Each structure stands twice: as C-alpha cells, then as structure tokens.
Structure 1
Amino acid sequence: MSKTEVDIEEQSFLKEVTSHLPLDWSDERRDAYIQHVLISWRQHREHSREEQRLMEKYLSTIQQHFKPQSSELYDFNQWPINENLLAMLNRDSIDSDIVKQIESSGAYTFSFLPTTFCQLLINEIAYFEQWCIDNGLKLYRPNSMNKYGVILDHFGFEKCLTDIVTNIVQPLTRLIYKHITLPLDSHHGFIVEYAMDKDKKLDFHVDDAAVTLNLCLGEEFTGGQLYFGGIRCSSHTSTTPPKHDEEIYLEHQVGTACLHLGNHRHRALPITSGRRLNLILWCRSSNFDDERKKNGNNECPTWCGFHQMKIEENV
C-alpha cells in the first residue's frame, strides 16, 4: 500500500470517528481522544498487515514445496460419493430414505463416503501436519474456537471442495432450504479434531455460513454428540432459549454427513474416549448475505425459530 493510500485510509477512519463525537466536547478532549484512537488503530493496522504477510509466506511455501501423499484425494471426480445420493440428485428430488431429516429439526443426514476413503483423508491430514512440523511452519487452525485441525483450502483442496459445493451442497440447498438465495459462491473448508488430550467439546454457536456440511471421518470414539438448539437470526442467536422440540442430539457415524443451516445453533458435546475428526464445509452465498444486510437487524425473518414462536403465540 502506497503512502497516499495509507493517508486516504487514515483520513477516512478519522472522518468516521469524528462524526460520532459529542458536540459539547472541548477541543482538548476531542484531540486527546482522537490521538488515542488513532494510535490504537495504527497498531491494529500494522498487526493485521504483518499477519497477512505471514499468511502469504505460509501459503507460498506450501504451494511451492508441498507434495501430496495421495493426489487422488484432491480430485472430486475420484471421490467415491454414495451412489444413491448422486442418483437422487440427478432426479432433482428429495428421497427421505436417502436424505433423512433429524426429527423435524431442519438438519439432515445422509451416507456420503465409505469409511476406507475417510481413513485416507485422515492419513493425508496427518501427513500434511507432519510436513508442516518438519518444515518449521506454524499451522493455521480453522477458526477461533478450534485449537486443533487444519484448513483444507490451504494445501490443495480448494477446487475439490468447490466441486463438492457445486455438485452436492448447492443442489441439496435448492431442494431443502428454499429461502437461501443461490448460488453458494464461496466456502471455508477445514478439519476439526477432538480427543481426550486436545479439544474435547465445542461451545454453543452458529456458523459463518448460509449452509454447513459436517462429515464425520472417524476414528474410534465415544461421546461427542452434535447438539442442535434451534434456528435463529442474528437478532435472536443469544437472546432466546430453545424450545423442547428444537433440542436435537446427533450421534456421529463415520462416513455420514449432516447438512444444516449456518444459523442453526449447535455445539459439540464432550468426547468421552478416543479421537474424532470431522470435515466441515461452510458454504456461503453473497446474495443471501446482502439480503440480510438490507433487511437489517430489526426485522426477524420467517425462517427464524423466534419468528415461528411468535406466530404460534398469536394463533
């Protein structure tokens, strides 16, 4: 970024800050406040730029030097997707014997991959993690909540995951979640790992996604059920408790995937033995995001569980 661009960015920031200052402040108080905020902003900006520089170096090193152990895993056309699922999608209709809704929760499960292929993916993840250790690279974790796991897009899976979104998740979304505006035009794909000596659980949250695909890869484990607690818009994510019929527990099965809305509140209950790895694919729609921004936070959408409760109360 050139000096001119930096000056413009700083001026824009200062204009935004000063526009919200109380009119009755003295010049001395305004100047002191602006100086304090500006110093903090510059420090944050420099930290962000350093993080970006390190990330670019990390990705460049992987791109130049990492060689996959099993290259076929990175090609969607070589993934042995469940044939019944593919045939159903070709028919362009939902078969409840293939894609099963978990009670009436709005979350669905289906057989996705054979366990042998899931193990190959686990082996590839371990191979990449060891390669990073051997090459002195710090692993970037999936998000702020998971301390273990890897970001699949970082080491060659981006196109494969894009193909999964296009060929599997988007057709399912169009059939099941009709309020989601398509296309699903970006994603964040990663692995999460739970074990007795690592992360044991994950707290109640929503995903940064329109739709999420959660695939259990294995291995041997007990506990760690996926708990769902109601679909909520951003205004009611943390303000309304779940109704009894919104509380759903899912037992993970290796090779089985779960599809749910990003705004479907959920958490991973504590694992009690073994080790569990899941492939998570956050699928986003820029059109859907834009629509939510235009509507603002004051209007509760019809798909929000709080909206449904209000309708029931008025009946």
Structure 2
Amino acid sequence: MESRKFFSCACFYVRNIFLKQLNCHVEYWDRSQFIRSYSQFLYKNGYKEEEQIDSLISEIEAEIDRRKNREYESIKRQELISQIYKPLYPQLTQLQESFLSPEFLAIVNYCKQEDATFEGLFDFIQETQVPRTYSFPVFTAEFCEMFLAEMHNFNQSDAPKERPNSMNRYGVLVHELGFQPFFTSLRENYFNPISQILFPDWGGGTLDSHKVFTVQYEPSKDPDLSFHFDNAEVTVNVALSPKESYKGGNLYFGAMRTEVDKESDRTQYIHEPTIGVIHRGQHKHGASPVTDGQRCNLIIWMRSSAIRNQKCPMCDQEPQLQKSLGFGDGFTRAETVDVCSVI
C-alpha cells in the first residue's frame, strides 16, 4: 500500500489553522484577507493593537511554513533519529500478535468471517455512553507499559522532535521512530475488518493510509484539547496511561460535523487503559483538562482515499491535489465511491 502515490489538498495550507489563544480555527490567505475576515472577532477578543495582530499573523505564517515543509523535515528527523536514538525496546516496531489483547483478536477474527454482521459484532464490543462510538481492548497492559516507556525515553533524549499537529504541542509522531510497518499492518489486517462492519459507508474496509501519533496532557503543558473533528474517516483513540497516573482529562463528544451541535448534549467518555474508542473522524470531540499527573493516548487517524477523493473533509470541496511524500493527507488519483447520506 505504501508504494501508492498519495496527495494533500491545497486547503491544508490556508484553512483550519488553530489558534489556541483564541480557541478557534482560522483561514489565512494573506494579511488583508485575514484582517477583513476576522477584524470584529479579534477586537472582541482583545486584539485591538496592530502589534498584537502582527504577532498573531506571524504565528499563523509560521504554522503555514511548518505545514509546507512538514514532510521534508520529517524525513530529515527520521534520518537523525535513526542515527542518534537508541530504543529501549527495538522489537516494538514490528507488530506481533502477542502485543494485542486476546479480546481484540477475537473481534478481528469474527469480523473476517463471511457471515459477520453489525448486530453480531456486539457480542464482542459495546457502544459507549456516547452514541455511534464503540470501545474494546486493543493492546495488552504489558505492551502499553513498554510503549509508554519508549515514548518517555524518546522525549527525554536529544533526538529531534516535532509536535503532532497544530492543536497538540506535546506528543510523538510515531512513524519517525520506525513504527510505520507496525501501524500499516494494524490498519490493514486488524482495523479494516472492524471498520468495514462498523462504518461501511465511511471508509470501513477501504482505509488505505493513516497518521499515528501520541498526545500528552498535563497541567503545566497541554492540559486539554479544544472541541474539533479529525482529518480522518475513522479514528481510534487508545488509552495508554494507568488511571491512577492522572486526574481529569476525559473525552467528550458532541454531534457530527454536519449536524447542529448543542453543548448541553455533549457526553463524556471515560478512558480505561488498553481500551480503544473507535469513532468517525467527523464526530466532534474534545478533552477536558487534566488537573494532576499526565495522560498519554495513542491516536490513529485512518483515511480512505475512495471517500475523500470526491470531497475533502476539511474544506468540503473537490480536493485540489498537491504533491506529498508518504501518505500525505490520504488523497489519491484513484476512483471514488459514493458516500451514503446516513450519519
């Protein structure tokens, strides 16, 4: 799969730029457009001086530069990491079934059966307290402990690092540590069969690329995560940290991106170690503040080019393809399939 050519959409370089101090995403084409579009909003939020706006624009332009250079910089980092970083557990980069929960393997085995059904799958998984999200064990406790130790060891090293995305400042892009084969196998052989039954109209069974990273929350760094949706067709969020290692930090879900969202209707999801919650990427969600300790989760964004080729999920337009390295943002020049209107 990785030999296929993937692309990004041009909107990635002008849209959905997150500004944490304003808790919003903005669109930026140039200075005049930005001021014209957001002058009233900026004024209401205390940005009344030209110097304040200049500082904000400098931050936005730095983020755009980061996006434009992200793939080339990632390759450079991977080369340096391979030279200077000594892994604690080098065996982790190759997926072994011993890393996976027996319950998870049973789920996958069921989903691979020709007569597997959506209803039958609920003998193995459960819908969470949040409608249209589902939870099940993914990894063993031993694997989570080793993986966490590896991430901590890497963060304490002198190896170069990059933030996972514009909303998360702390965490690890795990492919830069050599985990790409691990998660390619996990997607192709394990999550695709599950997604094919749970989300058949939203990429399930045709998930052909991914982005995987850890996120780390603690009071003095990133304590929480603002309400948002993912650039993915299907997301899996696996809790890695023991429950006693932090307080707070629960997920909360609202409506789908295309639905009217009411804050009063949002529902919490409480993390359990080794357990993954799977949901559509367009299902809006956030994370409440961690008030003590540190919480680390593994985030797997899985993308279906057959779905996103017809409409970019970030700009709602036919994607304007831009050359990319690796998986890009999951677009290809392949044929598309119809997306069911059912949400």
- TM-score of the superposed pair, with normalisation by structure 1: 0.72
- Counterpart of 2:341 in structure 1 is 302
1:278 and 1:44 map into 2 onto residues whose CA distance is 24
Q: Is the 8 A contact 1:105 1:230 kept in 2?
A: no
Please state how far the C-alpha of 1:53 moved relative to its aligned partner: 5.0
Amino acid paired to 1:126: H
1:250 and 1:262 map into 2 onto residues whose CA distance is 16
- Counterpart of 1:120 in structure 2 is 146
Q: What SS is found at the alignment partner of 2:121?
A: coil
Does 2:226 correspond to 1:230?
A: no
Does 2:226 correspond to 1:203?
A: yes
Q: What SS is found at the alignment partner of 2:255?
A: strand
Which structure has more relative contact order (CA 8 Å, sep 6+)? It is 2
2:93 and 2:149 map into 1 onto residues whose CA distance is 13
Please state how far the C-alpha of 1:226 moved relative to its aligned partner: 0.6
How do 1:1-315 and structure 2 match up within 5 A? 54-92=73-111, 93=116, 94-103=120-129, 105-131=131-157, 133=158, 135=159, 137=160, 139-181=161-203, 182-219=205-242, 220-233=245-258, 240-242=260-262, 247-293=266-312, 302-304=341-343
- TM-score of the superposed pair, with normalisation by structure 2: 0.66
1:116 and 1:44 map into 2 onto residues whose CA distance is 37
Please state how far the C-alpha of 1:183 moved relative to its aligned partner: 1.7
Name the CA shift for 1:79/1:162 in 2 (closer, same or farther; >3 Å).
farther
Q: Is the 8 A contact 1:73 1:79 kept in 2?
A: no
Name the CA shift for 1:263/1:123 in 2 (closer, same or farther; >3 Å).
same
1:284 and 1:214 map into 2 onto residues whose CA distance is 15
Query: Considering only aligned residues, what root-mean-square deviation do their CA atoms show, in Å?
Result: 3.0
Please state how far the C-alpha of 1:81 moved relative to its aligned partner: 1.2
**More divergent stretch after superposition (220-229 vs 284-293):** 284-293
1:243 and 1:191 map into 2 onto residues whose CA distance is 27
1:221 and 1:47 map into 2 onto residues whose CA distance is 32
Please state how far the C-alpha of 1:50 moved relative to its aligned partner: 6.2
Q: Is the 8 A contact 2:130 2:253 kept in 1?
A: no
**More divergent stretch after superposition (104-113 vs 187-196):** 104-113
Please state how far the C-alpha of 1:108 moved relative to its aligned partner: 0.5
Q: Give the number of the structure whose alpha-carbon radius of gyration is greater.
A: 1
Name the CA shift for 1:69/1:265 in 2 (closer, same or farther; >3 Å).
same
Q: What SS is found at the alignment partner of 1:149?
A: coil
**More divergent stretch after superposition (259-268 vs 85-94):** 85-94
Unpaired stretches in structure 1, ≥5 consecutive residues: 1-16, 18-42, 305-315
Name the CA shift for 1:174/1:53 in 2 (closer, same or farther; >3 Å).
closer
Unpaired stretches in structure 2, ≥5 consecutive residues: 1-28, 30-61, 319-338
Q: Is the 8 A contact 1:201 1:271 kept in 2?
A: yes
Please state how far the C-alpha of 1:115 moved relative to its aligned partner: 2.2
Q: What SS is found at the alignment partner of 1:204?
A: strand
Amino acid paired to 2:179: F
- Counterpart of 1:309 in structure 2 is none
1:157 and 1:55 map into 2 onto residues whose CA distance is 14
Amino acid paired to 2:228: H
* Higher helix fraction (1 or 2): 1
